[in-house]
Amino acid sequence: MKKQEEFMREAIRLSLENVQSGTGGPFGAVIVKNGKIIARGANQVTANNDPTAHAEVMAIRQACQELGSFQLTGCEIYCSCEPCPMCLGAIYWARPDTIYFANTKQDAAEINFDDQFIYEELELPIAQRKLPTRQLLRNEAQIAFKAWQQSTTKKEY
């Protein structure tokens, strides 16, 4: 438990440092493998003009480069805040063994980082979502899916 707290304190330190430096939002993340931090990330959304540059995504990118793998099997991720829907999706795709978080999504909502509307939108049928979403050219797009299905050189994930 002592090591887990140490790793979480590093994620929290990164979140505070990010605010104090004016670099971005109050979010930090670290990824650990075999008891060692292999990647760190802090929110870089405004610094990079990149809405996907959340702390968790930045840490995942760095960890995957470090490991030379697109999966984080055997790793733990420590997040200064409960992951938003995008980060949670990215974390699931990366497949770490465990997620730890400090602040809750309710804590984030209290400082105007409220992702509840995204959770609610995902539950709605596509036609009822606020962001107009329309399907186009499915038959043409199926060609790539069929090619993937038949490929003998694909790397499954």
* CA separation for the pair 151, 19 (Å, rounded): 47
| The one catalytic residue among 10, 56, 121, 156 | 56
DSSP per-residue letters across the chain? -HHHHHHHHHHHHHHHHHHHHTSS-S-EEEEEETTEEEEEEE--HHHHT-TT--HHHHHHHHHHHHHTSS--TTEEEEEEEPPPHHHHHHHHHH--SEEEEEE-HHHHHHTT---HHHHHHHHS-GGGSSS------HHHHHHHHHHHHH-SS----
Q: Do 80 and 103 form a contact (C-beta atoms < 8 A)?
A: yes
121 is catalytic: no
Catalytic positions, please? 56
